Structures are given as C-alpha cells and as structure tokens.
Structure 1
Amino acid sequence: MNVPEYAAAQCTRATGAGVDPHEYRRVTDSLTSVADWGSSFQRIGQAYLERAEKAGSSVSAGEHLMTAARWFHLATLAPHAEAHRAAAEADHALSRALTVLEARARRVSGEGFTGWLRGPSDAPGTVVIVPGLDSAKEEFLDLASALLARGLAVFAMDGPGQGVLAATTALRPDYEQVVGRVVDALGVGRVGLVGLSLGGYFAARSAALEPRVAAIATVSGPFRLDWAELPPPVKDIMARRAGGADAARDFARHVDLTALAPRISAPLLVVDGGQDVIPGVTNGEPLARLAPHGTYLSVPHGDHLLGNARADWLPHLTDHIAHTLTGEPA
C-alpha cells in the first residue's frame, strides 16, 4: 500500500483518536514511504513533549502531553523497529498528563493488564475500556471523556499483546480472565465494558463468562474471524501481536461468539459501521440478535471504529452504559 492509500485508510481512526486533521494531513503528505510513518509520528509526539516543557500553565502542559500520547500511539500503527518504544512513549506521556491534570487518577496494574482509573471515587458505576488488535488505552481518550462527563469512573486499559504490554506479552483469547483480575483490582462489585474493534470480541466474551459485567457495548467488534479470508495486513498484525503466524491462526480460530452470545445476560449495545467491510470478519449483527438483551445500531456511512460518524453513536453508547449501570437517565 502506498502512502496516500495508507494515510487515507488511517485518517478517520487518527482523527477519531483526537489528533488535529490538518496536522495529520501535513504529516502524512510529507511522507514518501509508509516505512517513515513511525519515526515521523514520533517526531510530532516529541514536539508536543517540548511544548509541554515550555507551557505557561500546568493545564497547557497536561493538554500537550495528552496530544503527545495520541501521536506516539499512532506511530505504532505501521510496523517499524521502534514501535515498542513508541508505545512506551505513549504510555509515559499519558501518565505524565494525568498526573498533571487529574490528581485523583491512579495507575492500576496486575497480571496481564495495566491502565489508569479516572473519575470520582464514589462514582455510581465503573466502566472498563477494552482496546483491540493494535489499539491501546491512548486511542480512546474521547470515549473516556464522554463517560467521565456522565459521572462514571473509567478504567482505560492495555491487556495482553496490547499497547505498552505488546513488547512483553501476547494476545490471548480468554480475556475474561484478565477482566476478572481487573475487577478484583478495582475493588468494585460490577463493571460496564466497552470493547472496540477486536476489543469487542474480548468484551463480549468477558460479558458471557464473567458474572460481574453488568453492561456492555461493542464498536466494530468481530462476531467471527475466518483466518483464510483475512487480508494479509491483518494477518501480519495478528502474527506480531500473538507471537507468530501459527499462534495467530490459533487465536483467530477462537474468535467465534456463536455459543457465547446467548450467555450474555447484561444489556448489550452493538455498534457497526455500514462501510466497515473487512474480508474474513463477520460484523456484530448476529451478536446483537443472539444475545438475550442485545440492541443493534448500524450507521450506514460509518467506517471501522466509526471515526467518521462519532455523533451518530458515541452519545448513544455512553448513555446506554450510564443508564444501565446507574438506572438513571444519562
């Protein structure tokens, strides 16, 4: 794939993650090869770190650090030798930003997970944001902000093979065990889950097998994967994150919610984009249909992760989670 095609394919994902679309265009227009993607995005992240150092207030510094975290994360989307370093830089920038901006935010880590818990200690509900194949806790900051605005506590996490943990761990299908340890570490009786992309599978599986999941929403999550039909770029990413082609093929074989969907007792919202058509990936309509309390929202013009249609689903999703967890109008 050439640079214009790759930049166009990643555009709404990048802008959905919160970077300025004009700056994104300036950066990608200057690239001559996808191989330069990672280093170029890391340079932008570094520039925001420098802005943070020169900022005239702690709020400005924190905002620059948040932006740096986004750019460092986006640097990991194209394969390059420094991808693990970029993930670590994203993690560090987010940590610095939250330390500056939110005194009550705290890091929570355990076996197979790490992340930040944000929001009031007496929140009426806690939501765990589950990332996907090559996403991370730094990608969905706007989703976290929307949930926080509804009075909820939010734990944005990296799990096995994700984000800052990708350098030392591998993807695993039994994500419900990780979610169980997260709930234990957070010290709450129940949680809501929002899973994005492959995280939608992780969240749905966890909702079926972990009884403390009380609300769930998925965005662009796969109902089933067919390894033979997956495009080569997806297979390559999965192989890197799972620990090799054989491990990736075995992982993909587990991604099938046919038997698990009927076991999801929590209210479920499934969000798909009508333009999100990936060979070998079954979108979420069967999940919503088979789950006892499933609702399906398809946005016809939405792409993968619906970064081009946020107003059509993000308020609805966050209201669903807030109302389900608290019993009150969002």
Structure 2
Amino acid sequence: MSAAEFAAAQWSRASGAGVDPHEYRRVTDGLTSVADWGPAFARTARAYLERAEGAGSSVTAGEFLLTAARWFHLATLAPYTEADRAAEAADRALGRALEIREPGARRLAGEGFTGWLRGPADPAGTVVLVPGLDSAKEEFLDLADALLARGLAVFAMDGPGQGVLAASTTLTAEYERVVGRVVDALGVPSVGLVGLSLGGWFAARGAALEPRVAAVATVSGPFRLDWAQLPHPVREMMARRCGGAAAAREFAGRVDLADLAPRITAPLLVVDGGRDVIPGVVNGEPLARLAPHGTYLSVPHGDHLLGDARPEWLPYLADHLARALTGATSARDRGGDQHR
C-alpha cells in the first residue's frame, strides 16, 4: 500500500479522533512511504508539546497537550520502531492535559488496565470506554465528552495489549476479568461499557459474563473473525499485539459471540457503518438480533469506526448509555421515531 492510499484509508479515523483535517493533509501529503508515517506524526506531536511549553495560558497549554496526545497515538497506526515510545508520549500528554484542564480527574491502574476517570464526584452513572486492536484511550475524546455532557463519569482505559500497555502486555480473550477488576477499582455497583472496533467484542463479552455491566454499546465491533480471511495488515497487527502469529490465530478463533450474545441481558446498542466491509469480519447485526435487549443502528455511508458520520450515531449512543444508567426518558422514548 502506498503512503497516499494508507493516508486515505485513515482519513476519517484521524478526523474522528479530533485532529485538524487540513493539518492531516499537510502532514500526509509529504509522505513518500508508509514507513514515514510514524516519524512524521510523532514530529507533529512534538511540535504541539513545544507550543504547550510556550503557551501564554494554562487553557491553551491544555489544548495543545490534547492535540499532541492525538498525534502521538495516531503515529502508532503504521509499523513504526518507536511505536511504544509514541504510545508512552501520548499517555503522558493526555495526563498532563487532564491535570491542567480537569484537576479532579484521577489516574486509576491495576492488573491489566490503566486510564483516567473523569467527571462529577457523584455521577448519575459511570461508563468505561474500551479500545480495540490498535486504538487507545487517546483516540475517543469526543465520545468521552459526549458522555460527560450527560452527567456521567467516564473511565477511558487501555487494557492488555492496548495503548500504553502494548509494550508490556498482550491481548487477552478473557476481557471480562479485566472489566471486573476495573469495576472493583472504580468502587461503583455497576457500569456501562462502550467498545470500539475489536473493543466491541471485548465489551459484549464483558456484558455477557460480568454481572455488574448495566448497559453496553459497540461501535464497529466484530461478531466473528475468520483468521484465514483477515487482511494481511490486520493479521500483522494482531500478531504484534498477541505476541506472535500462533497466539493471534488462536485469539481470532475465540472471537465469536454466537453463544454469548443471548446472555447479554443489559440494554445493548450496536452501531455499524454500511461501508465497513473487512474480509474475515462479520459485523454486529447478529449480535443485536440475538441479544435479548439489542438495538441495531446502521449508518449506510459510515466506514470503520464511523469517523465520517459522527453526528449520526454518537449522540444516540451517548443517550442510550445515559438512559440505561439513569432511567431517564426522553420525548423520543415516549413515541419518537426509531433511529436505525
């Protein structure tokens, strides 16, 4: 794949993550190969760190640090020898930004997880954001903001093999154990889960097997994977995150929700993009159909993670979590049109 093709493929994901689309184009237009991706994105991130140091106000410094975190994270999407350092830099930049912008934010870490808890001290509910194969807590800041705006607390995490933990751990299929430890650390009776991409499978599995999950949503989550049909770049990334090709093949073979979907008793929203077609991936419609309280939202023109269709799913997902965790109803629930 050429640098131009790779940049085009990541375009909506990057814009959905919050980077300026014009700057994205300026950075990616200068790439001569995919190998240049990581270094170029990391350089852009470091420029924002320098701007933060010279900022005239703490507000501006915090904004620059959040932008740096996004660019450092996106640097890890292509093969890059310094990917682990970029993930660590993204983690540090996000932490510094939250310390400035939200002094009440708390870092929580335990066996197989780390992340930031944001929101009110006495929230109406708490939502855990679960990243996917190559995503991380720095990628979904707009989703966190939408949930925070609805009075919820948000714990955006990296789990085993994800984000800043990718250098020291590998992906685990038993993600419900991680979710259980997160709920213990949060000290709340129940949580909502949102899983993005492969995180959708983690979240659905957690909802099926961890009884303290009171609401769940998935975005571009797989119902089933077929290792033999997965594109080579996906298999390569999975091998890196699992500790080898054999472990990745075994992991992929466990990604199947046919037996677990009927056990998800919490309200479930499944969001898919109609243009999200990846060989070897069965998308989420069967999950919504088999779960007792599943709802399916398909956006026909949406791609993977639906970065090109944010207004058509993100508010509905945030409302779904808020309603399920607080019991609140809206005019839409009392007779409005069903959005599908």
Output the TM-score relative to the length of structure 2.
0.97
Q: What's the offset of the Cα at 1:328?
A: 1.3
Partner of 1:174: 174
Superposed displacement of residue 329, structure 1:
3.7
For 1:211, what is the secondary structure of its paired residue? coil
Aligned AA for 2:69? A
3-state SS of paired residue (2:81) = coil
Q: CA deviation at 1:121?
A: 1.1
Tell me how far apart the structure 1 counterparts of residues 157 and 24 of structure 2 sit (CA, whole Å). 25
Give the Cα separation in 1 of the matches to 2:36 and 2:230. Answer: 25
Query: 2: distance between equivalents of 1:211 and 1:310?
Result: 30
Structure 1 residue 242 corresponds to structure 2 residue 242: yes
Give CA deviations for 1:12-31 in whole Å, capped at 9, x if unaligned. 00000000000000000001
CA distance in 2, matches of 1:74, 1:94: 13
In the aligned structure 2, how far is the partner of 1:293 from the partner of 1:55?
A: 49
Name the counterpart of 1:3: 3
Counterpart check, 1:113 vs 2:106: no
Q: How many Å apart are 1:226 and its aligned residue?
A: 0.3
Measure, in 2, the Cα distance between the counterparts of 1:129 and 1:281: 22
| Distance (Å, rounded) in 2 between the aligned partners of 1:299 and 1:19 | 23
1:52 counterpart residue number: 52
Q: Alpha carbon RMSD of aligned pairs, Å? A: 0.5
- In the TM superposition, 1:11-22 aligns within 5 A as 11-22=11-22
For the pair 1:131 / 2:135, whether they are aligned, the reply is no
The amino acid that maps onto 1:275 is R
Taking the aligned partners of 2:229 and 2:33, their CA distance within structure 1 comes to 27
| Aligned-partner Cα distance in 2 for 1:51–1:146 | 27
Taking the aligned partners of 2:262 and 2:32, their CA distance within structure 1 comes to 49
Gaps of 5+ in 1: none
Distance (Å, rounded) in 1 between the aligned partners of 2:63 and 2:29: 25
Question: Which consecutive unaligned segments of at least 5 residues does structure 2 have?
Answer: 331-340
User: Any residues of structure 2 matched to 1:68-87 within 5 Å, and which?
Assistant: 68-87=68-87
Give the corresponding residue for 2:26.
26
**1:80-137: CA deviations, max 9, x gaps?**
1000000000000000000000010000000000000000010010000000000000
Q: 1:42-99 CA deviation, whole Å, 9 max, x = no partner?
A: 0000000011011111011001000000000000000110000000000000000000
Q: 3-state DSSP class of the match of 1:138?
A: helix
- Identity fraction in percent: 78
Which residue pairs with 2:276 in the alignment? 276
Normalised TM-score (structure 1): 1.00
SS of 2:9 mapped into structure 1: helix
Residue 177 (structure 2) pairs with residue 191 (structure 1): no
Deviation at 1:262, TM superposition (A): 0.1
Matched AA of 1:41 = F
